[in-house]
Amino acid sequence: MSDQKALCREALSAAVVGFRLGMEGQASENLAKFVDCFLPLLQEAKQLNVDEVNHLFGEVLAAQSRKDFLRVADLLEYEISRLLAD
Amino acid sequence: MLLQRPLMEKVSVVIMNHAVAAQSFQYFDHADWLADSRIELLLAESEDEVQVPFAAVPSCLQLASDAAARLRDLVFLELATPFMEEKQTAKQSLLQQRLQENMSLLCSDGDVAELFASRQGERVLVAGAGPTLSTHYQWLAAQAGQHLLIAVDAALQPLVANGVYPDIVVSIEDSPGALKFFEEVELPTVSCRLLVYFPWVHPDILNIWPGLRLAAYPDAFQCEEVCKKHPKGSLFSSGTVSHPAVDLAVKMGAAEVVLLGMDFSFPGGKSHVEGSSFISGRDEQSNDHWILDGHGSRVATASNYRGFLRDLERYIALHPQVKFLNGSKQGARIEGTSYIEGDWR
């Protein structure tokens, strides 16, 4: 589990950097990696509130589709990353 | 922040949208940095190229005006370059493996350089697979034989289906998906035509091609050993088959290169011309990515198309001796080209 979280954090961090620097390809690829890592955690971690997770990812996708990359980076760095807290 | 660096001699601030800048100057006090004598204000439309080093706030680039679209794209292209290079490096082993698979054909096939300088001063037509290609079928069929026609592989099937037989087909994709471009064509009908290819195209494409094959290397190809053993001419390539197709026309000596179906966008909400295997529908009104069409209106595009377009424009700028004509105003406005007007044909 901790390895999985480490992979998630790594992908998330790379996505945040990519979105902040306007490197859309790199950012999106790492965001996809993060989602792939995160899904198994979501199934196992019973303390996670699925409604909250859905809401946050909805916001991320909305910001991404309007190309508001700073908002995407903020959401990932300050909101989504909380979901990975021990 | 930049101005706080004592060694900073000059900072050029490029205004990407006049209206937004005017609003900002009206509502916010910018005196602290505007008063600095090292600041120079520039307008995006006056800048042809990105100057390095530069700093940009990518989110704010979404506010770029129509006039600043090209510079905006060049900034994004610059930002995407490390990622693209990383992807290319990661693909090297696959390309090497494919090259080995094709080695015997590479040895025995001809060299694209045989074609160079063979059409000095002529008009050469280059067909991409954009949606507007279909507007040229009738004329292309009628003019058969008058001008050399070079087509990208994705345009082969739609052209042949409409009675147009390109003289040369260019194929560079390593993806097996490119096989579709050839499988659906009645290949005997193109048996007297040439295939120009990069050495990592799928071997099945090379094997089913009924005519002569000529190999080429992309201009940035780094494989000295193979190139020395099997020297072939090189063609400009920066991600799309349209690039080597255009460069081939130029290297053949064309004085005039006519670009047909090179849309780099989704006019009519389509990604490719009807009949192409890759065609997919797109939201014409999508505001995700856009460029300007020949009428000066925004047309939806994709980030990679935008990059292909700007790289082609840079290529065109390096060849002032060649006149480039764009066949349609429905697709991307291509800097450095003029439009086919009136009775040009």
pLDDT per residue over B232-248, tens digit each?
999 999 989 999 999 99
User: What is the percent of chain A with per-residue pLDDT over 90, rounded to a whole number?
Assistant: 49
d(CA B89, CA B95): 10
**pLDDT at site A43:** 78
Lowest mean pLDDT among A34-48, B25-39, B125-139, B168-182: A34-48
Region B291-300 average pLDDT: 93
Q: Where are the alpha helices (DSSP H) in B48-132?
A: 69-90, 92-101, 103-108
Hey, how many other C-beta atoms are within 10 angstroms of the C-beta on B63? 14
CA distance A49 to chain B (A): 30
Report the chain A residue with the minimal C-alpha distance to residue B81: A23
| Contact by Cβ (8 Å): B196, B112 | yes
Whether residue B283 is predicted with pLDDT greater than 70 in this model: the reply is: no
**pLDDT at site B93:** 82
Mean pLDDT of chain B: 90
Domain that holds residue A45: 2-84
Instruction: Find the distance separating the first CA and the last CA of chain B, reported in whole Å.
Output: 57
DSSP state, B289?
A: S
Q: Tokens 């390809």 correspond to what residue?
A: A25
Q: Which residues of A touch B303 (CB under 8 A)?
A: 24-25
Predicted confidence band of residue B84 (pLDDT cuts 50, 70, 90)? confident
Can you give the pTM of this predicted structure?
A: 0.83
Residue of A67, A71, A75 to mutate for B, most B C-beta atoms under 10 A = A67
d(CA B254, CA B119): 6
- Delimiting residues of CATH 3.90.1480 domain(s) in chain B: 91-339
Region B292-308 average pLDDT: 92
CA distance A82 to chain B (A): 24
Q: Is there a contact between A25 and B62 if contact means CB atoms under 8 Å apart?
A: no
**pLDDT at site B287:** 55
Which residues of B make CB contacts under 8 Å with A?
A: 56-59, 61-62, 75-76, 79-80, 82-84, 86-87, 288, 303
d(CA B204, CA B157): 17
Whether residue B279 is predicted with pLDDT greater than 90 in this model: the reply is: no
Closest CB from A23, A68, A70 relative to B80: A23
**pLDDT at site B324:** 98
Q: Which residues of B touch A71 (CB under 8 A)?
A: 59
Predicted confidence band of residue B81 (pLDDT cuts 50, 70, 90)? confident
Domain count, chain A: 1
CA distance B240 to chain A (A): 17
Q: Is there a contact between B59 and A23 if contact means CB atoms under 8 Å apart?
A: no
Closest CB from A23, A65, A70 relative to B79: A23
Answer whether CATH 3.90.1480 is correct for domain B91-339. yes
B226 or B69, higher pLDDT: B69
Which residues neighbour B3 within 8 Å (Cβ) at sequence distance 6 or greater?
A: B11, B33, B36, B38, B39
d(CA B106, CA B83): 30
Q: Is there a contact between B56 and A22 if contact means CB atoms under 8 Å apart?
A: yes
Report the chain B residue with the minimal C-alpha distance to residue A30: B83
Whether residue A74 is predicted with pLDDT greater than 70 in this model: the reply is: yes
Predicted confidence band of residue B160 (pLDDT cuts 50, 70, 90)? very high
Whether residue B284 is predicted with pLDDT greater than 60 in this model: the reply is: no
Report the chain B residue with the minimal C-alpha distance to residue A67: B59
Q: Is there a contact between B79 and A70 if contact means CB atoms under 8 Å apart?
A: no
Region B147-176 average pLDDT: 93
A85 or B196, higher pLDDT: B196
